Structure 1
Amino acid sequence: MSDDLVLYSLDGCPYCQKVHDALDDLGLDYETRWVEGLHSTRNEVKRVSGQRAVPVLVDDDRGVTMAESANIVEYVEKTLAPAVDA
């Protein structure tokens, strides 16, 4: 799988953990970029996604950047899972 998956995440965030679990369950390779707890310091997340909330998934292979854990999990299951099975 691609090394171009990046998950912006906050330690202890249950929404972020939900996304980590989905990626791990599928055995996907991804990089986690841990962010600070203070929203105002999340400049890299703001730069890539236009907002400072996490989780944010960046899939460079497909040109996709998305937020909201439910949307990310759905994307992972519908788009990335078939690539793992292929």
Structure 2
Amino acid sequence: MSSIELYELEGCPFCSKVKQKLDEIGLEYESHLVSRSHADRDEVKEASGQTGVPVLVDHEHDVEGMPESSDIIAYLEKTYGDSKRAETGA
């Protein structure tokens, strides 16, 4: 199991932006496709306290459920982006 999980909705443009960033950085992640109905998104609510997607969970860095695509992308760039890969020699 990957340390990163993404709760997403098929066809969601905000989810696509996050997936594109994950792929760009080269991170493996586990995708959880959720229901179109907000009422049926208990797993998202448990992770983040709300039912919107995308939501990112990063077990390695104790991120329990980060919502908002722009916040997720900024977090991924800061935590895993080019400068971090250069520091670790990856």
TM range, smaller chain: over 0.9
For 1:76, what is the secondary structure of its paired residue?
helix
Number of matched residues? 85
How much does 1:84 deviate?
3.8
Instruction: Assess if the C-alpha contact under 8 Å between 2:78 and 2:84 holds in 1.
Output: no
Q: Which has the higher contact order (CA 8 A, sep 6+)?
A: 1
RMSD between aligned residues: 1.4
CA shift for structure 1 position 83 = 4.5
2:68 is matched with which residue? 68
Give, as a single letter, the amino acid of the residue that structure 2 aligns with 1:37: R
Relative to the length of structure 2, the TM-score reads 0.88
Answer with 1 or 2: which has the greater Rg: 2
5+ residue gaps, structure 2: none
- Structure having the higher helix fraction is 2
SS of 1:3's partner is coil
Percent sequence identity over aligned pairs: 46
| Structure 1 gap ranges (5+) | none
Q: Which moved more, 1:23-32 or 1:74-83?
A: 74-83
Question: For residues 27 and 60 of structure 2, what CA distance do their matches in structure 1 show?
Answer: 13
Deviations 1:23-65, CA, capped at 9 Å, x for gaps:
0001101000000101000000001110000000000111112
What TM-score comes out, normalization by structure 1 length?
0.92
Aligned mates of 2:54, 2:16 — CA distance in 1? 9
